[in-house]
Amino acid sequence: MRKPSPIADVVMHPVRLRIIQQVGTREITTASLRSALPDVAQATLYRHIAALVDADVLTVVEERRVRGAVERTFALGERMAHVDHDELLEMGSRELQQAFLTFLAHLGESFDRASAADDPRFRDFLGFGETTLHVTTDDLAVIQAGLGELLAPYLAAGGDGRRTVTLATALIPTDGAAPRG
């Protein structure tokens, strides 16, 4: 059995991040991905899709014949498309910085695309800010579990006038001081 690549090695590529963003919580065909990412050459897109499938980040949920070719439909796979805590601990400083900068670049690109649409409702769904928390690692586990429970009803695409938004989080220690007991 092959050892899976560290998730950061797989997803921290700008094209792969864009593919993951397009898939999100829905199912999407290769044709829809080509339409959504017209600036990515077809061969390049297919190569990155294959890498994501090989790493179980994407999974094939359906295959059907379309004009003699096989059209595949994808969804997010078994592995979550994020870097987990254990993988963060294994990264060197340069790898960690590159992963974070890739994340920020992807976030900035998403913002640029959304704001360029010149939709007057854009700001109705926009928000950003930061807050300081005073936590232990156990507190963070409780917060993550609570956020997962809170967000679960909003992860599936649905009608009812809902708009798709991206929620991005980053936890960054603000000082090098030892934890307070």
CB 8 within 8 A of CB 95: yes
**pLDDT grade for 48, boundaries at 50, 70 and 90:** very high
Give residue limits of the domains in the chain: 1-114
Q: Each residue of 85-110: b (16+ CB within 10 Å) or e?
A: eebeeebeeebbeebbebbeebbeee
Q: Kindly report the average pLDDT of the chain as a whole number.
A: 81
Question: What is the average per-residue pLDDT within 71-86?
Answer: 73
pLDDT of the residue at 1 = 44
pLDDT of the residue at 30 = 92
**pLDDT grade for 78, boundaries at 50, 70 and 90:** low
pLDDT of the residue at 109 = 73
pLDDT of the residue at 180 = 52
pLDDT of the residue at 2 = 46
pLDDT digits (tens, 9 = 90+) for 119-162: 778 888 888 888 899 999 899 889 988 998 998 888 877 777 78
CB 74 within 8 A of CB 62: no
The model's pTM: 0.58
Question: What is the average per-residue pLDDT within 89-105?
Answer: 75
> Per-residue pLDDT for 47 more than 50?
yes
The second-level CATH assignment, the architecture, of 1-114 is: Orthogonal Bundle (1.10)
Q: How many CB atoms lie within 10 A of CB 30?
A: 19
pLDDT digits (tens, 9 = 90+) for 10-29: 877 889 988 988 887 678 89
